[in-house]
Amino acid sequence: MALIPEIEASNDEIKALRRAIHAFPELRYEENRTSQLVADNLDRWGLEVHRGMGKTGVVGILRRGAGSASLALRADMDALPIDELNTFEHRSKNPGRMHACGHDGHTAMLLGAAKYLAKHGEFDGTIVFIFQPAEEGGAGAKAMIDDGLFQKFPVQAVFGIHNWPGMPAGHFGVTDGPIMASSNDFRITVKGIGSHAALPHSGRDPIFAAVQIANGLQGIITRNKKPIDTAVLSITQVHAGDTLNVIPDEAWIGGTVRTFSVETLDLVESRMKHIVEMTAAAFECTVELIFNRRYPPTINDPKQARFAASVMEEVVGKSNVRYPVEPAMTGEDFSFMLLEKPGCYSFLGNGDGAHREHGHGEGPCMLHNTSYDFNDELLSVGSTYWVTLAQRFLQASS
């Protein structure tokens, strides 16, 4: 690996920042302590600091020379509503809150890059450091954009990264086009007429109708969309009744839909509406479908993905870069930024969990798991990647 020696030398400081963030996790739009820590350090290192964008977001600006080239680097800051099972020293001190997705590490890596670039300034142009709130279901990226992020701080491209458990530590993964799916949820409420369970003919059974709807929805995936167009429709909740000998008046099912394109999502939602309404009517029930489009698919600009891959190869070697990497069906609100600017989202391998200190939980070191912990060995890797990417981008654009 071609890590920057000074970044490696400051690893203990960045590690301490990461663990301080981990110990006091904050949920979406509540990242006050984290935002303060970020802003204070950026200010200490001499960056121009802007607070309160997207409620609790922070933006740091570095300008050098007379060049007009510019790019943005983004890290997310929020935690999850999870009780941490780990018992090591830097475990969560906030009950019911945990950095179970590695946003503490993302923030620390970007802070490490900001510190180095503030001191050395070997570039001509502007670097915008985005520390974003509320990635976990709060669309913090969109909130910052709606607050004028790219109007106040115009950039030519934007880049983001996420740690990836299961991929060897320090390896990178990136691809052209879709790298993460759209994230959407639905709730289907079926209303019938309740009756005694021994006299089903005297009512209109919403449970039976809901079951037929659930079965019918899978036909969208297997019979309506093209086989090469990826989509997932998962029913994750079924709720009805509270008495064994009573058919209730109402039942509802809920779940999620994931796609790599808006066109496929349009098809799925349209077919869902038709199947839901026609199936309910066939059993003389009424129905309501609520379909929420949360995050669009995360689609990398091919040019910027190729550029990012070249930087990764420079930092960790070509054999440690998966290009193209297999896309994931999970969602990411960095997608909103890629709707505004060309850019690239990438994965950084977090390993298999062997890095965790004594006192970690017995569960796997996977995202959104109560036994997860970010791999501190990645801090220098991630910071070096950000520095190298920024310098190469501005050199190529000047």
Residues near 351 by Cβ (< 8 Å), separated by ≥ 6?
A: 165, 167, 168, 169, 365, 375, 377
Residue type at position 136 = E
Q: What is the pLDDT, as a whole number, of residue 397?
A: 84
Q: Which two structure tokens, joined as six digits, stand for 164?
A: 């990836």
Domain 5-180+297-397 has CATH 3.40.630.10: yes
Q: What is the pLDDT, as a whole number, of residue 64?
A: 95
CB atoms within 10 A of CB 202: 11
Closest residue by Cα to residue 33 from 112, 117, 118, 92: 92
CB atoms within 10 A of CB 318: 11
CA gap 378, 3 in Å, rounded: 11
Q: What is the pLDDT, as a whole number, of residue 121?
A: 77
Backbone angles phi, psi at 174, to 5 degrees: -155, 155
Closest residue by Cα to residue 344 from 393, 380, 384, 295: 393
Q: What is the pLDDT, as a whole number, of residue 337?
A: 98
Q: What is the pLDDT, as a whole number, of residue 46?
A: 97
CA gap 178, 266 in Å, rounded: 17
**Buried b or exposed e, range 137-159, using 16+ CB within 10 angstroms:** bbbbbbbbbeeebbeebebbbbb
Please report, in tens digits, the pLDDT of each residue of the chain (398 residues total): 899 999 999 999 999 999 999 999 999 999 999 999 999 999 999 999 999 999 999 999 999 998 999 999 999 999 999 999 999 999 999 999 999 999 999 999 999 999 999 999 789 999 999 999 999 999 999 999 999 999 999 999 999 999 999 999 999 999 999 999 999 999 999 999 999 999 999 999 999 999 999 999 999 999 999 999 999 999 999 999 999 999 999 999 999 999 999 999 999 999 999 999 999 999 999 999 999 999 999 999 999 999 999 999 999 999 999 999 999 999 999 999 999 999 999 999 999 999 999 999 999 999 999 999 999 999 999 999 999 999 999 999 87
CATH of segment(s) 183-295? 3.30.70.360
pTM as predicted = 0.96
Contact 181, 297 (CB under 8 A): yes
Backbone angles phi, psi at 275, to 5 degrees: -65, -45
Residues near 16 by Cβ (< 8 Å), separated by ≥ 6?
A: none
Q: What is the pLDDT, as a whole number, of residue 122?
A: 81
Q: What is the pLDDT, as a whole number, of residue 254?
A: 98
**Would you say the CATH fold of 183-295 matches that of 5-180+297-397?**
no
Every domain of the chain and the residues it spans: 5-180+297-397, 183-295
